[in-house]
Structure 1
Amino acid sequence: MSTTVDPLATLGSLPGVAEAVGTVRKAVDRVYGHRVMRRRSNEVTSEAALRGARGSAALSGADWALEEVRRRTDFGAGDEPRTVGAALRLTAEAGTLLSVWRQSPLRALARLHLVAAGGAQPDETVGRPRLAGEPVAEPLIEVELPGADEVAGRLDGLAGLLIAGSEAPALVTAAVVHGELLALRPFGSCNGLVARAAERVVLVGSGLDPKSICPAEVGHAELGRAAYAAALDGYVSGTPEGMAAWITHCGRAVELGVRESTAVCEALQRGAA
């Protein structure tokens, strides 16, 4: 009798991961229990989306003040405005892709890249994994770039795991999706933005954060690019210690996202937002 191995669930037993999962669960439960969430959850969701987009853009080199992101309407000219615009579009798109993600994660990723690229790339490279020899514009992610064949194989493997389902906690699955996409950089551009949007899709679709009020992107930005890069190095190493460090880093990012939305709830309660 053969036993099917659940690789994602196995990661949940790494040192420190169960504690991170438990801490995140308690933090999420607390913000969902806030009295403001009873009547004004849509406002919290909208604000979390804006702040999450700002955080994701910051990690991709466009570190704008929140009020600048809120104020601007033109994101078409210049690298930084385009990055912020892409982050905003992705945050809006993520919530519409839950059913697609469950059936075909690769199709959902293609859609996310199409939304992120927004006409900034030649059409033939948008929404599909890169081919051999095609360049990747992702200067802030410095880990070694896998070849196109490896990318295709690992994407298929990731999609297979997600479709098959796992007993792994949502944090573990979200962290693996995020880390794998950063490591692979499967598209010619916008890989960091897409990876963080995919993390959001998993956290929402798993039921951990169904109203999308716990923006991990805020936490990743607050922890900083250096910590983000160091944690990613751990993921890419594939060692138990490295994988655990990446997952716990992602857990801390979710906690900080919860803290941000808790502050929004408090401001709404006081009538200050």
Structure 2
Amino acid sequence: MRPGAGRPVSRPAAADPLAPLLDLPGVRDAAEGARTGIDRLLRHRLMRNRSAEVSTESALRGARASAALEGVDVPLADLRAGRVEDPVVQGALRTSVALGSMQDTWSRAPGQVLARLHVLAAADLADRAALGRPGAHAGPRLGALLRLVTGETTVPAVVLAAVVHGELAAVAPFGTADGVVARAAARLTGITRGLDPKAVSVPEVGFAELGRAEYARALDGYRGGQPDGVAAWLVHCARATEHGALEGLAVAEALLRG
């Protein structure tokens, strides 16, 4: 018998396709800054027994900010009081509130989750037959993204979330409410990959605070696919995440004051 017969053949581990992103200018430092900001939020004393209250408020503020990035800016007080009927805002709110129920499924069946997110986000914006159905144009690129979500990667969660966000926004698989879906999927990635397991930060507010114009410019750079553009998008997402952690701290402090 030849040596090794009967034993399984050892194969080298597949290379992490996202690992090179950390070597792009500014990305590693920006990711570390985002992680530091989230960790500070998670150490807040309110997280010991009242994190669910912060998460609930975070979902509301995140929905408002996501709709604002789509051009529909409404007062937070009106949204909290249920006085807003705009379909974009309502879609953003439905997706934000539903993320908790999707955490277990996202890493196993992300395509199923994306379909559900689109149904929630675009229920009042698209024909019922089109809800949850990505267009043929999205095929290969969307499939590659889904494999990244279900696969193993060593990059920080904020980087993977930025890739999920950028790919979905760039490809626009559904044709309606793609931005809302992209931001919800990115947030879900951060939650399930351990960046913000309590869902208490508000990254959508971070993007809104950095400005719609800057958001659009950074996303255009990512769409272009050149290293500098991709790096700028990843850094932008990390900065927004850091701002979102500050928003979570503001929520926690407000709850402490009553």
> Does the alignment reach a TM-score above 0.5?
yes
Structure-1 residue corresponding to 2:119: 114
Structure-2 residue corresponding to 1:5: 15
Deviation at 1:119, TM superposition (A): 4.5
Distance, in Å, in 2 between the alignment partners of 1:214 and 1:31 is 8
AA of the residue aligned to 2:193: S
Identity among equivalent positions (%) equals: 48
**2:87 counterpart of 1:82:** yes
The Cα offsets for residues 137-195 of structure 1, whole Å up to 9 and x where unpaired, read as xxxxxxxxxxx1xx211001111122222111101100000000010000021000000
RMSD over aligned CA atoms reads: 1.4
**2:226 counterpart of 1:216:** no
AA of the residue aligned to 1:233: D
Deviation at 1:255, TM superposition (A): 1.0
Structure-2 residue corresponding to 1:66: 76
Could you tell me which of 56, 59, 62 is aligned with 1:52? 62
Could you tell me which of 76, 98, 102 is aligned with 1:97? 102
Deviation at 1:73, TM superposition (A): 4.6
Structure-2 residue corresponding to 1:38: 48
Counterpart of 1:209 in 2: which secondary structure?
coil
**2:130 counterpart of 1:130:** no
Could you tell me which of 220, 227, 245 is aligned with 1:258? 245
Distance, in Å, in 2 between the alignment partners of 1:175 and 1:163 is 15
* Greater C-alpha radius of gyration: 2
Structure 1: 4+ residue segments shifted above 6 A: none
With normalisation by structure 2, the TM-score equals 0.92
Deviation at 1:2, TM superposition (A): 5.4
**2:154 counterpart of 1:200:** no
Structure-2 residue corresponding to 1:158: 145
Counterpart of 1:5 in 2: which secondary structure?
coil
Cα contact 1:219–1:257 (8 A) shared by 2: yes
Query: Would you say how many aligned residue pairs link Structure 1 and Structure 2?
Result: 248
Cα contact 1:10–1:168 (8 A) shared by 2: no
Map residues 236-251 of structure 1 onto 2, 5 A cutoff. Answer: 236-251=223-238
Provide closer, same or farther for how the CA distance between residues 74 and 246 of structure 1 changes in structure 2, counting only shifts above 3 A: closer
Contiguous gaps of at least 5 residues in structure 1: 76-80, 132-147
The Cα offsets for residues 6-51 of structure 1, whole Å up to 9 and x where unpaired, read as 1212212212111111111111111111112222211111111111
Cα contact 1:219–1:252 (8 A) shared by 2: yes
**2:21 counterpart of 1:28:** no
Structure-1 residue corresponding to 2:212: 225
**2:29 counterpart of 1:19:** yes
Deviation at 1:106, TM superposition (A): 1.1
Deviation at 1:72, TM superposition (A): 2.2
AA of the residue aligned to 1:53: A
**2:174 counterpart of 1:180:** no
